[in-house]
Structure 1
């Protein structure tokens, strides 16, 4: 079954620290868990320092803005897309195309998800200089399905996918009910431990299956 949301060159996400509150030892915001969004709308970071790597398009169409990781690329010239901002990016240090004030290129990107951007931890490398066979973890693979603990209907599965997407809007592209496998399939830029814990705590076991563009860097 083909996945709907994950493109070959995809992207997105964000994180930033929630306010810690003032001096009483806590903000009192139960909805402001790590990796999600505070009730005041500010994003939170995953905080675990995981390094992620992915192959995708980076584009900047606003000279005053930030380069962004593309979740999907419109086939125009120059191309159009948008997604998670990238911190530490320097167009002068990477080969790229430019037209009508837009800069873009396809790269191997490595960084840490901080809450509101992907912070580069290594220099980006143009994909035409990369042998992707050296990164087998980035190759497309069918999702791994377990044995869902409960048999849920299409509407229930879609509601679960929508809830996960709403909880992690910075990194989730979307989700849908996979009735054939009895799961809510969620497409994401990357999957944090907080996202996995959120799914495990709220929904029956093996009901949520994630797919992602960025993968954790082992070792």
Structure 2
């Protein structure tokens, strides 16, 4: 699975077009309680063949841009400044909302990234512990691939971080279910996450 730099794509798009690990607290959340609220800077795009906007961690370098985004409920293009070309609408925003396993639902109005300090919304550095087992690069890659297959809506990349001995998984956001799956199926501290959207404390 190829790793990519999500915010590099976001800021590249912002320049030409318009517009972490989640901490251990996310893994400790009670999934039966109120849903986690996530926030971060990301490209929102709606292609001509879809009837809803999507959150895009990775954007193809084309004009108009393209992506397969996570559906976002509550989005109104008429309420935000955005770019539009050939029927495609897009922009880069700070979004806040919840995730139900299928779609992201806004809980606050989006903010244009150009109107805030982007440094305030960069993904946190991954929290890497001391892996309980020494795993090969192939084993770590297989773990990252497994996470992507298990959680295709949120995981968009990953691979072996041989320097730290972990599988580094790139995600749109990290849910309690993702933490639980990693803890239940792989050696302790074998998985580390980077996430575009972070839980709001």
TM band (smaller chain): 0.7 to 0.9
Structure with the bigger RCO (C-alpha within 8 Å, sep 6+) is: 2
Is 1:4 paired with 2:19? no
1:119 aligns with one of 84, 87, 105: 105
Is 1:82 paired with 2:53? no
- Following TM superposition, by how much is the alpha carbon of 1:63 offset from its aligned partner in structure 2, in angstroms? 6.3
Contact 1:6-1:213 at 8 Å conserved across structures = no
2:35 aligns with one of 41, 49, 59: 49
2: CA distance between counterparts of 1:107 and 1:140? Answer: 14
- Following TM superposition, by how much is the alpha carbon of 1:166 offset from its aligned partner in structure 2, in angstroms? 1.0
Please, which runs of 5 or more residues in structure 2 have no aligned partner?
11-30
Please, which runs of 5 or more residues in structure 1 have no aligned partner?
11-45
More helix by share: 2
TM-score by length of 2: 0.82
Is 1:151 paired with 2:150? no
Larger Rg: 1
CA RMSD of aligned residues (A): 1.9
2: CA distance between counterparts of 1:63 and 1:150? Answer: 46
Q: Which runs of 4+ in 1 moved over 6 A?
A: none
1:142 aligns with one of 125, 134, 143: 125
TM-score by length of 1: 0.76
1: CA distance between counterparts of 2:50 and 2:126? Answer: 39
